[in-house]
Amino acid sequence: MSVGHTENFPVASVLLPAALRHPVAVIYRFARTADDFADEGDLRPHERLAFLEGYRAELRRLEAGHSPASPLFQELREVIAAHRLPLVPFYDLLDAFSQDVTKQRYANFTEVMDYCRRSADPVGRLMLHLYGDRDDHDFACSDAICSALQLTNFWQDVEIDFRKNRIYLPQEDMARFGVTEDQIAASDASGGWWDLMRFQIDRSRRMMVRGAPLAIRLPGRIGLEIRTVVQGGLRILEKLEQARGDVFRHRPILKAFDWPLMFCRALVM
């Protein structure tokens, strides 16, 4: 099952053990449809928030032991019960999607990372629960990988997000490098733009490398899956670097020839 919209990274890939592909796909459908409430179509903000609140109500029904009202949550209930998944990561995802409706600018990197903690890290933690891994150190490494992937998507999607009136680049970093919102609106990669992007690329790469030992510790196909995801993120950062951060004219995407390269890099990690 490949991702839709603008993401580069696949979920429920053939590298996963077959028994985990359905649970991963169900979790992905939960996250994807909830994210669509925040992002897609012509809904007004209060309508988007109402749909997200409907998902929270379904989670509360599961928590109370009541039957869910929708087929998606019926499947989700089975996955949660079979793998003893915690509900907090699902609530965190909904909080992040709601924040996308109400918050369009981030003053500093701390605020961005707080968003990543709820928008990206829960997915990795749920995956570890599916694998039966509940080690705190592994959770920390997973958080680093997931946040790095989220940041990488932010940097490659600056123009796409700006069309939704969102800027995830920290405002204090933009000011430090002399980059303005008018520059983003004009698709202008001159001046301090490359310095700003290089700064973000470097911090994202360091974060990815900090979490990468998890992909080496986990065994078999699960470890290989995570190593490939790590290499996918690093490859996007590499492409951003090659384009000197000009995502307006050279938004990086993973092409057919990138996958063998990533897979080979994953094998030799």
Predicted confidence at residue 69, as pLDDT, reads 87
pLDDT of residue 13: 64
- The mean per-residue pLDDT over the stretch 207-228 comes to 91
CA angle 155, 161, 165 (to 5 degrees): 135
3-state secondary structure of 29: helix
Q: What is the pLDDT of residue 4?
A: 42
- Cα separation, 222 vs 198, in Å, equals 31
- Report pLDDT for 14: 65
Q: How far apart are CA 263 and CA 127, in angstroms?
A: 20
- Residue-level pLDDT at 40: 85
The arithmetic mean of pLDDT across residues 183-198, rounded, is 97
pLDDT at 244: 97
> CA dihedral defined by 144, 149, 151, 153, rounded to 10 degrees?
-170
**Is the model's pLDDT at 2 over the cut of 50?**
no
Closest by CA to 112, choosing from 145, 147, 139, 144, is 147
Q: What is the pLDDT of residue 17?
A: 79
Residue 196 has pLDDT above 70, yes or no: yes
Query: Across the chain, where does the E strand assignment appear?
Result: none
User: In angstroms, rounded to a whole number, what is the distance separating the alpha carbons of residues 266 and 179?
Assistant: 36
What is the distance between the alpha carbons of residues 173 and 127, in angstroms, rounded to a whole number?
Answer: 32
Lowest mean pLDDT of 80-84, 140-144, 255-259, name the range: 255-259
pLDDT tens track for 40-76 = 888 999 999 999 999 999 999 999 999 998 999 999 9
Locus of tokens 């997931």:
146
Summary mean pLDDT of the chain: 92
Q: What's the pLDDT tens digit per position in 92-111?
A: 999 999 999 999 999 999 99
Question: The whole model's pTM is what?
Answer: 0.91
Is residue 255 predicted with pLDDT exceeding 80? yes
Does residue 221 register a pLDDT over 90?
no
* pLDDT tens string 127-173: 999 999 999 999 999 999 999 999 999 999 999 999 999 999 999 99
Q: Are 84 and 24 in contact (CB under 8 A)?
A: no
